[in-house]
């Protein structure tokens, strides 16, 4: 019997390297980046639309209160303040100096978002005339003004950084 066996030592395999990762890990990283980017984009759009939702909800409250009470003078005063607040909070209008506008320039500023001159020559003139009137003409179109303001709110550049 041979005293010495012809055995070789056990050879261990090289350890698996963590770099570069396998294709599946690259795909998972790409998917995570895509989901994160889309989530950020949707969050930003949701935040930008929050101003529009809040403005439309406040306008609906004003309109509902007018429909219940049918008092035009407080409505017109609050409506003018509301329009100015909306303009001051819009990203596209923040540097346009709308806070100091009054009279015809204010109506002209409001007409910039709409086609035509509905504020200067139409129902929007009530914003200038009615708050200071002792009595309003029964033929005045308060409901037309409310519809005009609602149309104006819908066409505003809520998410743009630059004005129209």
Residue range 104-130: mean pLDDT, rounded: 85
CA 68 to CA 52: how far, in whole Å? Answer: 24
Quote the pLDDT of residue 156.
85
Quote the pLDDT of residue 36.
98
What residues contact residue 96 under an 8 Å CB cut-off, 6+ apart? 87, 109, 163
pTM, rounded to two decimals: 0.69
CA 53 to CA 29: how far, in whole Å? Answer: 35
For residue 143, the surrounding DSSP H or E stretch is helix 142-155
CA 47 to chain centre: 7
Residue range 44-53: mean pLDDT, rounded: 85
**Contact predicate 83/101, CB 8 Å:** no
Residue range 39-64: mean pLDDT, rounded: 89
């Amino acid at each position: 019997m041979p005293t010495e066996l012809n055995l070789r030592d056990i050879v261990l395999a090289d350890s698996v390297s963590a770099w570069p990762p396998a294709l599946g890990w690259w795909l998972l990283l790409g998917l995570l980046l895509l989901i994160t980017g889309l989530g950020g984009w949707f969050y930003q759009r949701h935040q930008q639309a929050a101003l529009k939702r809040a403005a439309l909800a406040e306008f609906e409250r004003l309109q509902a209160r007018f429909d219940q009470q049918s008092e035009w003078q407080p409505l017109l005063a609050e409506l003018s303040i509301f329009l100015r607040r909306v303009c001051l909070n819009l990203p596209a209008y923040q540097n346009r100096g709308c806070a100091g506008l009054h009279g015809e320039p204010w109506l002209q500023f409001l007409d910039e978002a709409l086609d035509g001159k509905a504020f200067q020559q139409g129902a929007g003139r009530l914003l200038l005339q009615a708050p200071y009137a002792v009595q309003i003409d029964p033929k005045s179109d308060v409901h037309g003004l409310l519809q005009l303001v609602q149309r104006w709110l819908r066409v505003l550049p809520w998410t743009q950084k630059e004005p129209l």
